[in-house]
Every structure is written in structure tokens, then in C-alpha cells.
Chain A
Amino acid sequence: MRNASDPTSDSTSDPTSDSTSDPTSDPTVRTDAGSRGRAVLLAKGIGLLVLAAAVLSFPSLAPDAFILSVGVVIMSYAVLATSWNFVGGFTGYISLGHAAYSGLGAYATALLVIHTSLNPWVAMLLGGLLVAALAVPIGIASLRVRGASFVIVSIAMVLILLLVFQSWGEVTGGSNGLRVPRPFDESVLRPEQHERFFYLHVALLAVALLTWWAIDRSRFGTGLKAIREDEDKAQSLGVPTFNYKLVAFIVSAFFTALGGGMYALWFGFLDPIFQFSILVGSYMVLMSLLGGIRSLFGPLLGAVIVGYAVEFFKNQYGDTQFHLVAMGLLLGIVVLFMPDGIIPALSSLINRFSPQAASIREVSAGELAEQRRAAASEGKDLDATEAEPTDSLPEGAKR
């Protein structure tokens, strides 16, 4: 369903898909695609269930509290990377400074919990809204021109916030850090805390994924993807590019801030160096790119791989300078050799071996008439599957 909702990108690389994917010109294709589409849908549904079951059963399978805490960190990365992908994936604008919004969300939540008697979860939501409000002027400043200034502002935001939060000691705790009260009382033990926060992060991730999916299928999402492919053409076709970019940016900042706030409540301690770190921002980029920024689950997959690698590395070799080199090399390799990510690479691999992957279909006139009759008789069903051909066909027709 997903990759295919990306016909803009497909058609640029593949001129033939235009003629073959037109569902009205070729009814055989319709039924073909209809049954195949249903199978794909089923496979996707099963895949989703398996994924959900695997994620939800992780806490009960984890052998000790440490592994469980690694799981929480990975889920936190997954939330951040998915939130980043609202801007990076849809519009193609790469932000290296999303740590600014996660850090602000974390501090907003912490300060609200400390200074007001708000419920921690309300504070987290409020923190997210505050950061989203702050993202409006930042977005207006950085999105008025094309990419380069956006990147520069995104890095500048992290640097400026690091400066401010380190110097403004009386409010933020400065370099000494800030202790965040826990949302659960003392009777809840450490492993229990990790388990609860694991599920909470998963819930937040699910909401973010659902929002991404909904935008992906909407007219708004199509406009955003048009900006990604060619901003000039999108503008000339009447897409309100600036407003669209701004909204995507605000949504992204909101979810990133929620991710940061939840991390603050879990970890219980904030230090500006780690909150406003370019490195954290670049983790989000690397995870999304590695998994595939055009895919719904790309950032999640990237977060699992990179997050696990980072934690493994830290555990084995400590906090040496080597992780910078490893991170740099990995990012460079991904950018140079697989900028589309793992998921698109895998799905094209699967398509190569799938039996439908031929551009010329051998159908006799008799079979054609038969299929047309069948198609006419279940016309209603066809309407339901109308969307499917665009889904599965461009990929089939690619070869």
C-alpha cells in the first residue's frame, strides 16, 4: 500500500509505468491486480500483526533489566526517528538539528513537572504543544528559502540552545543537569518502570506511525511528496508549498518534543550536553535514511539497527572516540551507496523474483474475454479494489 502511494517517484525513474498502470485501458490487469492486491494486503496485515506481537512481547522475553532498558532506548530512538521523518521523508528537507526539539520537549516537561503541580503526562503534552508553538517562527524563518538555509538553521538551533541551557543555570540547572521527578511512586521498582515505559513509548510510536500513515494517504501528503520531488513544479501546480512545509515541520517538532518529554520522565535526569547534541540529531537522520525515509516503518527499522549497534558499542568499548568514527563512516556509506534505505532495496529485490514482474503479459483473446466477463459481473467489487492497480502495478511494470 505504502510504497506504491509514491507514484511520483516511480514515474520519474520509469516512464513505462505511465501507460501500463492506467487501470481503465486494460481490464485484465485489473482483476489480476485485484487478487494480487488482496494477497498483498493480507500479507501486510499478517506482517503488521507479527511485528506488533514481537514488539509487545519483548519485555516478557528480555532476560534482565539492562536489556529491557536498551529496549526502551531503542523505542525512544524509534519515536524520534519517526517524528523526524515527518519532515525528512515527506518534504526531503534534512534537519540535522531535531535534537533541539526533543531537548526542548524534555526540558519543558521537566520544568512543568517541577514548578507546577501538573500531572506528568499532561505536562508532557503541554510541553509538546509549547514546542510546536515555538516551531512556528523557526519554521517561518527557515522554510522561506530552499534547503540550504533550513539545514543551517537546524544546526544553529541546537548550538544556540546548548549555549542557552548551559549558561542559564538558575532555571535549567546548567551543566549540573536537572533531576526530573518520576511519574510513578517509589513502590514501582526499576524493571517495572522500564516495562511500563517500554509500553508507553510503543504507544507513542503507534500514534506517530498512524499519523504518518494518514498523512501519507492524504492530499496533503501528496502535496508534500510533490515538494520533495520537485518544488518548482509543485508550486506551479498550485501546491501551497510554504504552508505545507510549515505544517509538516510543526507536526514533526510536536512529536519529537513528545518523544523527548517521555524520555525525560523515564531517564529522570537531563544534561544539556546530551539533550542538545548534534550527534543525537544525526542519529535520527541516520536511522531514517538507513531504514528508508519513504517507508512508514523505515525509521523504526533503522532505530532498531542503529540503536542496538550504538548500545552494543557503548557496552563493549565504553565511550571512546571510536563511536564518532563508526557513526561517521556508516552515515557516509548510507548517503553514498544506499540513500533510499533498506526497505526500498528489499522490496525491489522481492519484486524482482515475484512472478508478476514482467512488463509483457501473455494473455490470449479468449482469456481476455473471459476475464472481462468476470470483471463485469463483480463490478462492485472492482470499485473497491480500484486503488489497487496503482498500488501493485508500477512495481510489476518496472521490470
Chain B
Amino acid sequence: MSLFFQSVVLGVLLGGLYALLAAGLTLYFGVMRVVMIAHSAFLILSAYLAWWFTTETGLDPLLSLVVTVPLFFVAGVLMQRLLISRLRPATLTMMSVLLTFSVALVIEGMLGFVFSGTQRRIRLPYSGDSLELFGANIAVVKLIAFGLAAVSLGALFLILKKTQFGQALRATIQHPDAARLIGINTDRIAGYGFGLGLATAAIGGTALALDSTIYPSLHWHWIGPLMAIIVVGGLGSIPGAAIAAMLLGLGQSLLQIPLGTTWAQTIFYLALFATLMVRPQGFFGGRLAQRF
């Protein structure tokens, strides 16, 4: 029983991180109709930057967020303005996949070149600490990672719902032409949306660096589940992505008990195929998702 409870808790903690990252991934799709393969590569890049920051300065990796979040936001805006917007609109979805894929390859290659392919891990004074909670044993770093993800997801939600920029962003997602008609500069908004998505990768990467071992090609293990999540949730729907992330993260964690870690990962792909067979627009996707 306690094993079951432990898995549930771990699943929720994992699901929180998935939710934040999937929200970023679905945001790019919403504003630009772009499947951003490089999302998880930026995630690993940010994890490496956090690791590097800690080994060089000896400070807490969380402090690296002060630098990485603005840096990634700017990188996202530049990427949208300089690369994605150059593609022809007619083939944007397909070509953007290739473009972001090539960005992912360059990041992976540079990481391997600069930091070598060795597995890295941050050593922290509280790395081994854990909390007892109703018989479940929870590592403090996982809790911090979850807290970070939850706070950022909450902030993202507030930005989208309460600010004028968020309104403009949602209008751009829903109907770019109409948004342009009422005076929204959709190009600029799309750039900021991209920056916002990449900022989630910066936060997620730092959270990831806290409690896992990182290596350059790790990003392939993240992009598959994340893409499955955004399809299940409905492409372009942020609440859908968050809910699907929670459910699938929980499912993965529970399946690890009978099946082991490797086979438990297949739940994402099974969910992906089941969704496409039964409800191809995803479970929370609206009009937008039906056409893609």
C-alpha cells in the first residue's frame, strides 16, 4: 500500500514537471503552428547551464534561473523572428519541424563538444534529504522541482488570463487574422509567445538538473513523451496539456511497479496512438486542433 501511495506521489511530482514543459510546447504550436522539436534540447541546455553554474560558483542551481530565464526568453524571441518567420507560410508546419530539429541537433552536438558526453549530476548538501509523508518517502529535490514547476505554471496561467499581453496572445492563438484586425501585432506577440515557451524550458531544465543525471542526448527521452502529451491534450490547448501531463505522469509512475521503468514509458506512445484513433483532435483541443 505504501508503495502504491509512494508511486502516486512521485507520479504527481513528475506530472507537474511534464505539465510545465508540455505547456511550453503547446504554446509554440498555438501561436505559430510549429512543432518545436528543440524544446527538450533547450531543456537539457538549461540543465547543463545550471550544473555548470553550480560547479563553477558553488552556489545553489536555482540561482542560475536569474540568468537563464531572461536569456532563454530572448533566445526564443530571436528564434521566432530570425528563423521561424522566414519560412514560407504554406509549408510552415513541416519545415519548422525540420528547422527546430536542426537546432536540436546543433545544441546536442555543442553540449557534447563543450561538456563531453560524460553523465553529469549536481551534488547538493540536501541531495540525499527526504521527507516522510504518510509512509511515503519523498526526496526534497523532487519537491523543490515540483514547487518550481507549479509556481511557473501558475504564473503562466495568470499571465495568459489576467494581463493584456496574455489576452493578445490568446487571441493570436484562437484566430490570427481576427487578432490582426483588431490591432494586435501578431508577429510581435508570436515572438513573445515563443520566448515564453522557451522560458518554461529554462525553468524545467533547472528543476530537472536538481534530481537527475544529465547527458547531451537525454533530450530524446523527453521530446517523445512531451509530444504525446500535447496530442492527447489537444494541440494548442494549455489546460489540456497540463491535465494530460498529470494523468500520463501518474500513469507512468504507477506502471513502473509491475512493468519496470523502460516499459512504463510506452504508456505515452500507447496514449498517443489511442488518441489519434479515437479522437484525433485530442481530448481538450478545440477547433484549432481539428485541422492539424
Q: How far is the CA of A329 from the CA of B276 in the complex (A)?
A: 33
Interface size (A, Cβ < 8 Å)?
45
Q: Is the CB–CB distance between B231 and A328 below 8 Å?
A: no
Identify which of A155, A278, A329, A336 contacts B106 (C-beta below 8 A).
A329
8 Å CB contact of A156 from B86, B109, B272: B272
> Do A96 and B101 touch across chains, with their CB atoms under 8 A apart?
yes
Tally chain B residues at the interface, Cβ within 8 Å: 53
- Knowing A325-B110, A336-B86 are in contact, say whether A145-B94 is a contact too (CB < 8 A): no
Asked if B99 and A167 make an inter-chain contact with CB atoms under 8 angstroms apart, the answer reads no
Complex Cα distance A323/B113, Å? Answer: 10
> B263 — nearest CB in chain A belongs to which residue?
A167
Decide if A92 touches B91 in the complex (CB within 8 Å).
Answer: yes
One digit per residue, 1 when the CB lies within 8 angstroms of any chain B CB and 0 when it does not, for chain A 134-171 equals 00000011101111110111011001100110110000
Q: Which residues of B contact A159 (CB under 8 A)?
A: 220-221, 224, 269
With A152-B272, A329-B102: A335-B220 Cβ-Cβ less than 8 Å: no
Q: Is A116 part of the binding interface, using a Cβ–Cβ cutoff of 8 Å?
A: no
A152 pairs with B102, CB closer than 8 A: no
Residue of B37, B106, B227, B231 near A332 (CB, 8 A) is: B106
Q: Which of A222-255 contact B (CB under 8 A)?
A: none
- Contacting residue for B33 out of A93, A148, A325, A332, CB 8 A: A148
User: Out of A156, A323, A331, which one reaches B98, CB within 8 Å?
Assistant: A331
Q: Taking the complex as formed, is B266 at the interface, i.e. its CB lies under 8 A from any CB of chain A?
A: yes
Check: B273 CB closer than 8 A to any chain A CB. yes
Q: Is B174 an interface residue (CB 8 A)?
A: no
Give chain B residues whose Cβ lies under 8 Å from the Cβ of A67. none
Write the B31-60 contact mask toward A (1 if CB under 8 angstroms, else 0).
001010100000000000000000000000
Distance in angstroms between the alpha carbons of A320 and B95 in the assembled complex: 27
* Neighbouring B residues of A156 by C-beta, 8 Å: 224, 227-228, 268-269, 272
Query: B35 near A152 (CB under 8 angstroms)?
Result: yes
A155 touches B227 (CB 8 A): yes
The tally of CB-CB contacts under 8 A between chains A and B is 142
Contacts known (A92-B94, A331-B101); A155 close to B292, Cβ less than 8 A:
no
- Smallest Cβ-Cβ distance to A229: which chain B residue: B90
Q: In the complex, what residues of B have CB within 8 A of residue A164's CB?
A: 266
CB <8 Å contact, A145 and B292: yes
* Given A321-B117, A328-B103, A331-B105, A149 contacting B97 (CB threshold 8 A): no
Task: Scan residues 202-222 of chain B and give those whose CB is less than 8 A from a CB of chain A.
Answer: 216, 220-221
Q: When each residue 249-292 of chain B gets 1 if its CB lies under 8 Å from chain A and 0 otherwise, what string results?
A: 00000000000001101101100110011001100000001111
Asked whether any CB of chain A lies closer than 8 Å to the CB of B243, the reply is no
Assess whether A152 is in contact with B231, with CB atoms less than 8 Å apart. Answer: yes
Residue contact A147 to B292, C-beta cutoff 8 Å: yes
Q: Are A148 and B29 in contact (CB under 8 A)?
A: yes
A149's contact among B102, B104, B221, B280, by CB below 8 Å, is which? B280
Contacts of B113 in A (CB 8 A): 320-322, 325
Q: Is B235 an interface residue (CB 8 A)?
A: yes
Cβ–Cβ contact A147 & B106, under 8 A: no
* Cα A146 to Cα B227 with chains together (Å): 15
Rounded to whole Å, the gap between the CB of B292 and the closest CB of chain A is 4
A to B CB contacts below 8 Å, 12 in the list: A96-B37, A145-B290, A148-B93, A152-B228, A155-B227, A163-B266, A321-B110, A325-B109, A331-B98, A331-B101, A336-B86, A339-B95
- Residues of B participating in the A interface, judged by any CB pair closer than 8 Å: 29, 33, 35, 37, 83, 86-88, 91, 93-95, 97-99, 101-106, 108-113, 117, 216, 220-221, 223-224, 227-228, 231, 235, 262-263, 265-266, 268-269, 272-273, 276-277, 280-281, 289-292
Residues of A within 8 A of B (CB): 92-94, 96, 140-142, 144-149, 151-153, 155-156, 159-160, 163-164, 166-167, 278-279, 282, 285, 289, 320-332, 335-336, 339
Closest 6 CB pairs of A and B: A324-B109, A328-B105, A321-B112, A325-B109, A328-B106, A331-B102
